[in-house]
Amino acid sequence: MRKMLFAASLSLAAMAAPAAAQPSAAPAISAGMAVKDAQGGEVGTVARVDGQYYVIKTDRHEVRLPASSFTPSNGALLFGMTRDQLNAEVEKALTASAARIAPGAAVADQAGGAVGTITAVDAESVTVKLASGTLVRLPKAAVAAGPGGAVIGSTAAQLEAAAKVGAGGK
């Protein structure tokens, strides 16, 4: 989930499409295909094709980027950034994301409704304090960075209900 979100942050950087002529017959894009920058330097490889997106594996990250950011050329895909530039953009996006998932951050549901506030974060989980005062511990993968803090897939009411069931209530 987190990787998908930072792909949106990279969309402007990825729009720097390489300047190369389109071949007459577009090759099939598949896992393992090389990705190169405009000067022929190695960026990474295609890890998988995901509809209109390619997941690119660099030496440090896997990044989901729009297929329109690439130009097929001579059996490889050309990309408008070097590997170091792409890695730097991913790391910048991850740092910004982590800053939004920290104690004191507001938590919203997918519709933007208030859920609570993050009280603690560890390697595996995020603890959210609901308006009722109930503390709910969620897997870290269930929490994503949103525009104003953190976002989860549940509403406050759903979390309250789950907390009551988990505590032995009905």
Q: Tell me the per-residue pLDDT of 64-109, one tens digit each, with 9 for 90 and over.
A: 999 999 999 999 999 999 999 999 999 998 888 888 899 999 999 9
| pLDDT value at 7 more than 70 | no
* CA 167/CA 128 separation, integer angstroms: 16
Q: Tell me the per-residue pLDDT of 133-154, one tens digit each, with 9 for 90 and over.
A: 999 999 998 999 888 889 999 8
* Burial classification of residue 49, based on how many CB atoms lie within 10 Å of its CB (0-12 exposed, 13-18 middle, 19 or more buried): middle
What are the residue ranges spanned by the domains of the chain? 2-98, 101-166
User: What confidence score (pLDDT) does residue 166 get?
Assistant: 67
Mean pLDDT rounded to a whole number for the chain:
84
β-bridge pairing 106-108 and 149-152: parallel
* Fold adopted by 2-98: SH3 type barrels. (2.30.30)
| Single pTM value for the model | 0.64
Class of the CATH domain delimited by 101-166: mainly beta
Determine the average pLDDT of the residues in 12-31. 55
* CA 16/CA 37 separation, integer angstroms: 11
User: What confidence score (pLDDT) does residue 48 get?
Assistant: 96
User: What confidence score (pLDDT) does residue 25 get?
Assistant: 53
